[in-house]
Amino acid sequence: MFAIFRREMSNYFTSPLAYVFLAVFYFFSGLFFHYVLYLGTTDITYVFSNLFIVLILIIPLLTMRLLSEEKKQKTDQLLLTSPVSLTGLVMGKFLAALCMYAIALSVTVVYAVIIAGYATPQWMVVVGNIFGAFILGAALISIGLFVSALTESQMVAAIGSFAVMMLILMIDNVAGMFSNATVASVISSLSFLSRYNDMTTGILSVSSVLFFVSAVAIFNFLTVRVLEKRRWS
Amino acid sequence: MLKWIRIPLSRAENVTHSVSGKIKRNGVFGMIEVQNLTKSYGDKHAVNDISFTVNSGEILGFLGPNGAGKSTTMNILTGYISSTSGVAKIDGYDILENPTEAKKKVGYLPEHPPLYLDMTVDAYLEFVYHLKKVELPMKSHIANICKRVRIEEVRHRLIKNLSKGYKQRVGLAQALIGNPPVLILDEPTVGLDPKQIIEIRNLIKELGEEHTVILSSHILSEVQAICDRVIVINQGVLVADGTADDLSKKMTDDFRYIVRIEGPEGEVLRLLRAITNMVEVQPLGQKEPGVYEYSLEAAPGTDVRRELFKRLVERNYPLLGLRSTEMTLEDIFLQLTDPGAHSKMGGEE
């Protein structure tokens, strides 16, 4: 697992991918932070509440290649015939993407420190925000990884994960289309956005944390199953 | 008297090194055991009820035309895909029930070498080293392998910039990492130039002194040149299993020839047909001015060459060429599956 993690990390930085990802992330988060400073507030929440849409655009960049390219280049033959479990393989890939994302997200700590230079921010809100963005990203990465396992083409993986994430973003609107209250509430309970927004305002509920953690677990599990199934078909 | 005992691998390896060469007699045991292996895709059987055992220290050739099920069998043995039914064991470990242990014993070079094109050779081999959780000292182990497969001069280059021959050798280096007792090589010489083919063949022979090797090929002469034992499969079914000598004896029945003779076609034809034991003569047309080729088929077990020579001398028709026709793989399958197919084959050509 560690070997795979290391290879993916070095691969991110030997290709332009990591730089594009970090540049786009830093640009938009910097732009949002600029507004925070412009408005003269210590509330960093604005940065995070706008981050979701940026993540939808750039997380597929991190995950599109991870499994699709292995299949296309037939390097999966090396991975699957080496003494590494499928879970180890998937976790190695997942953690590499998560680590890249953590590197990107760490810039928000700098923003908090800058604010702290002028006034005292609400540290718990800041910590809650960063943590919320981290587990939201983790959930999106595991979805992207899952889509990447389904195809041989990076492009299809990128557009596929983008579509899935867009749908997830719009799920509250979808719920509104149902007149049946039960159906609507079931669908809206799947909303990533409303749970994430709760977290950006400083409400860190156990159920939201569990929601994202289970999303990570479920999609990583499904990814393992997809790889397993391919060997049996 | 020597005893036949099943001894653990480490001891077997000692035997290998001390007795210089292959483990014979007292160290022989089934390193790879395959029983009733079947792989079906829908109602099509890619591999159909194959059973065989490869003893330690043996080089086994897997002969078959493209699509015969060679790669599928190898993919099952290495745990890349699963079998529909049947058992495959590497050194006693079932590949389905004990995959991690079994995979540690195998170095695999698939038909398409699994190379990361954007890595350097060194970085790639180090990755494989970590991936396989090898415990040998890394630097010297990788250096040794590079020396062995002769890729030392390209170690710092990106794999995508290497020639096909080098890529193939990097693939082989990858299979050797961790010094696994079993090597499974899927068509290791395909796409190489003749010089590289000879190099790789020699290397595999060398490797066969310390490893149990399975090698697939669709070239008969290659398998004969390298392997101790040959398994022939066609359409997923095991057709023959024997030593390379057995197989070549079966294959080299000299009873079909191509001759090139200078002289009028009609007369030469008549002359050839008059030879005792000649079953069939067919003209193949004019090859040089006044020179014609003919294909001859004699009755199996007879030799018509001397009489042919005498008769041509009598009539003063110079014999410009005589060669036995090479059997194609298809002929071999026909012969292996149907012992009475000799004359039929001649008739078809």
pLDDT band at B17 (very low <50, low <70, confident <90, very high): very low
Residues B230 and B258 both lie in one domain: no
The sign of the torsion formed by the CA atoms of B297, B299, B300, B301 equals negative
Q: Does residue B85 fall inside a structural domain?
A: yes
Claim to verify: residue B243 and residue B257 sit in the same structural domain: no
For B71, the token pair is: 């790669």
Out of B78, B101, B114, closest to residue A75 by CB? B114
CB burial of B305-320 (b: ≥16 within 10 Å; e: otherwise) equals bebbeebbeeeebebe
B8 is a domain residue: no
CB within 8 Å: A83 and B123:
no
Residues B71 and B147 in one domain: yes
Domain stop point among B221, B247, B273: B247
pLDDT band at B68 (very low <50, low <70, confident <90, very high): confident
Q: Give me B56's structure tokens.
A: 């330690």
Asked whether residue B270 is domain-assigned, the answer is yes
pLDDT at B8 over 80: no
Flag whether B119 is in a domain: yes
What is the reported pLDDT for A203? 81
CATH of the domain at B314: 3.30.70.60
Per the domain annotation, does B13 fall within a domain?
Answer: no
B331 and B234, same domain (yes or no): no
**Residue B297: per-residue pLDDT:** 82
pLDDT bracket for residue B75 (50, 70, 90): very high
- Asked whether the predicted pLDDT for residue A72 surpasses 70, the reply is yes
Residue B237 and residue B127 share a domain:
yes
What pLDDT sits at residue A109?
92
Single out the residue in B227, B247, B267 at which a domain terminates: B247
CA atoms within 13 A on the CB side of B144: 10
Q: Is the pLDDT of residue B270 over 60?
A: yes
Cβ separation A76–B78 shorter than 8 A:
no
Per-domain boundaries in chain A? 2-232
Instruction: Give yes or no for A11 touching B (CB within 8 A).
Output: yes
Distances (CA, A) of A223 to A86, A108, A142, A226, B222: 9, 30, 8, 5, 41
> In this structure, what token pair is assigned to residue B143?
């250096």
Say yes or no: B240 and B257 in one domain: no
Do B263 and B134 share a structural domain? no
Give a yes or no: residue B99 inside a domain. yes
Q: Which domain holds residue B331?
A: 253-348
pLDDT of A222 strictly over 90: yes
| B140 & B167 share domain | yes
**Dmax (CA) of chain A:** 61
**Which of B190, B218, B247 is at the close of a domain?**
B247
Residue B16 in any domain: the answer is no
* Residue B6: inside a domain: no
Question: For chains A and B, what is the number of CB pairs under 8 angstroms?
Answer: 66
CA A167, CA A191: separation in Å to the nearest integer? 10
Q: How many residues does chain A have?
A: 233
Give Cβ neighbours of residue A76 (< 8 Å, ≥ 6 apart): A67, A70, B114
Give per-residue pLDDT as tens, A103-138.
999 999 999 998 888 888 888 888 888 999 999 999
Residue B299 tokens, joined: 């009755």
Looking at chain B, how many residues does it have? 349
The verdict on B81 and B209 lying in the same domain is yes
> Could you give the C-alpha distances from A222 to A74, B4, B191, in angstroms and in order?
21, 49, 38
What is the number of other CB atoms lying within 10 angstroms of the CB of residue A206?
7
Same domain for B263 and B230, yes or no, is no
In chain B, how many domains are there?
2
Q: In this complex, do B132 and A82 lie within 8 Å of one another by their Cβ atoms? A: yes
Residue B167's CATH number: 3.40.50.300
CA A186/CA B164 separation, integer angstroms = 56
B56 and B171 together in one domain: yes
Q: What is the pLDDT of residue B248?
A: 64
Residue A81 and residue B174: Cβ atoms within 8 Å?
A: no
The sheet with strand B319-324 has its strands ordered as B278-288, B291-298, B256-262, B319-324
Nearest C-alpha of chain B: how many angstroms from A79? 8
Same domain, B71 and B179: yes
